[in-house]
Structures are given as structure tokens and as C-alpha cells.
Chains A and B, each alone.
Chain A
Amino acid sequence: MYSLHKLLWDIRKDPNLADRYLADPDPILDSYGIGGEDRVAMRELDFKAMYERGFNPYLIYFCAIQLKVDRADYYAQIRGEKN
């Protein structure tokens, strides 16, 4: 789990990384060694899946905000009200 936790934290801390992730996520996912279902969830910005897979909700939420996801949209998604 650490690889994705690290990416979530790094995006929280580094706006430049957040911009680069939004522009082209795959090279960054590669460089963090994130594969499998974690990669699918992060690539799709499927925060609900990340939560269900046990990632820390603070880090998921803070990363979402840094990736310019609207707070209301984040919570709608995490509640399963929208994808």
C-alpha cells in the first residue's frame, strides 16, 4: 500500500506533481511502481475504490483536493452518489 500512499502524500505536498499527474498520470504511476487495482483506482480517480481498499481517508481526500476535485463532488463520489 505504501507506493500509493506515498503518491497521495506527494501530490498533497507538491502542486507541480499534481499538475503533472493531471496532464499525464501513467509515467508517474510507473515511477511510483503502482500497479494492479491500486493503479486502476488512482488512474480513474476512483476515490471510493481507494477507500474500500483501505487507503487513509485523509490522504485520499487531501490528494483529491490538490487534483482540483470539488469537495462536494468528492463526497458525492465517496458516498456512491456519483462516479
Chain B
Amino acid sequence: MAETTGRVVGAFTASHSPGITGWPERAEPAKREAVESAFAEARSRIDALAPDVIIAVSVEHFTNFHLGNLPAFAVATSDSYTGPVTKEMGDFLNVEQHQYPGHSRLGRHVYEFALESDFDPALVEGGLEFDENFCVPFKHLDPESKYPLVPIIVNGVNPPWPTVRRCHDFGRMIRRAVEAQTEVQRVVVVGTGGLSHWVGLPESGQVNTEFDRDFISRFESGDESRLLSYTAEEIDAAGNGAHEIRTWLVAAGSVQVPFDVLAYEPVPEWLTGTAVAAARI
């Protein structure tokens, strides 16, 4: 049988507020229902796509990296990841600490392909631990942790950040990387973070619905010129946590099609504008 190249068969994005799993009951019931239904819909679509691997793109919140070593992008190539990082964080997120399977060969391939494509991500061969970045959304999207992951980290927690255009380009590179190998046939990309929120700041608990709805409009339009025109200052208007939308840009770049937002709810009790979206493939 002739070898066929891998494909990105789907892409999804979601918020990763600790409240989604840690204190879902504090949200208004209708909002909780909308968000959880959207997660369930995304899970069902992922299962229907039967991915061999999920490339999971998020920020990390000083769980691994710090200001002595803060990569703009990092690709992890381990075969296993611990999450949540501590039992305490597990209690906080209401996610039982466990091992998430990794796909080290595809991770290694993406890393090498990135270098050949003039990207210079950090290599994380082991030791990467998860916080809410992956543990919260994947509790809904893959509760049994059955899909092996290639985690990719984008700096969304400390300025200066990679530009939104660079994030989108990184996503496009991911697709080319997947298509440049034959071992892994079906890949789903999941980007997690955002939308508007403030962490550790006086505005914490606010939601900038105007920013969120405008971002969703751009994300659903598939119009790259609108999606890629954000400056860091414009994103700042939606809080330091809003910079996590870079993970959505990576996911968008990996498919370059419009997305459908399955739910958007401003949830002050979870401290975020909370959304779940799926690429229109």
C-alpha cells in the first residue's frame, strides 16, 4: 500500500478558565449549559474525526518556564506529561492528576520541521507539566486522555509576545509539518486560551464582551486580514489573559478556514469570556 501523507483533519479552540472545571456551578445555569454543551459537541466531533494525534497548543502560566528562560514558542517531544502539575492544582481545577500520553515522534518531527522552516522554537524533550492550559479543556474534550498529544506552548503570559501574524504562520507551518510525514495520518489541532480576562489585576472578574464578540466575528469570517491586524495594545484592552488568543491564531493557521463558535458566554464567575469553536472543515 502506498504511503499517504498526514493531514490536519480538524481544529478546535476553547477557553481554559479554571472555573470551567473547578467551580462550574458558580456560573449562571444557562451559561454553564451552553459552554458544557459546546465542549460536548467538540468532543463528539473530535471522536468522529478519529485522530491519531492531537497537536495541543496553549500558553503555560509559569508552571514550567520563567523569566530566566521564556520561549516565544516551544515544542514538546515527550511520550508522557504530568497534569495538573501538583495535587493541589488538581484539587483547584477538579482534575485528577494523571499522565497524558505524548506522541514523541510527531513532536520531534514538528520541532525539526519548524527549524527547517525558519522557526526557532524551544525544544522540550521532557519534564513539561500541564496546568489549566490543557487540563481544563481536555477534561471535556478527551476525558479519558486516550489521544496522544504534541504540546506546543506559545508565550501569552509576559510581554513582549510573538505577533498574531507570527502565531498564524506557526500554525501554517504545523500543517505543512503534518503533511510532510507519513507515520501519523490524522491530526487534530486544539488551541486553548482566552478570551478576555485579567489575571492578578484590579480588573479581574470583568469581561470585555465588545472585544470578545469582535474577535469571534473575525474568527468566524475566515478573513485573515481582519484576524491578523491585532496589535498587542488592542489585545491589552481585553486583559493580560486575552493574549492567549494567540493559541487560537495558531489553530486558525493550521487549517486556514473559518471557524464556527459553538458557544460564547461572558462568565464573570469564571473570570473570562468563555468560548468553544470548531473549524468549518
Contacts and interface: CB of A to CB of B under 8 A. Distances in A.
B62 A62 contact: yes
Contacts of A79: 202
B62 A78 contact: no
B199 A57 contact: yes
Contacts of B158: 56, 58
Given A56-B157, A58-B157, A51 B62 contact: no
Given A9-B62, A12-B62, A57 B68 contact: no
Contact of A6 (B66, B198, B201, B205): B66
Q: Which range holds the interface residue count of chain B?
A: 10 to 19
B102 to A, nearest CB: 22
Interface residues of A, number: 18
B117 to A, nearest CB: 30
Nearest to A77: B202
Contacts of A57: 198-201, 240
Interface of B: 61-62, 66-68, 157-158, 198-202, 204-205, 240
Nearest to B203: A79
* Consensus secondary structure, chain A interface: helix
A55 B36 CA distance: 35
A61 B198 CA distance: 11
A2 B61 contact: no
Contacts of B205: 75
B26 to A, nearest CB: 13
Contacts of B201: 51, 57, 78
23 contacts: A2-B67, A2-B68, A6-B66, A6-B67, A6-B68, A9-B67, A51-B200, A51-B201, A56-B67, A57-B199, A57-B240, A58-B61, A58-B157, A59-B200, A60-B200, A62-B61, A74-B200, A75-B202, A75-B204, A75-B205, A78-B202, A79-B202, A80-B202
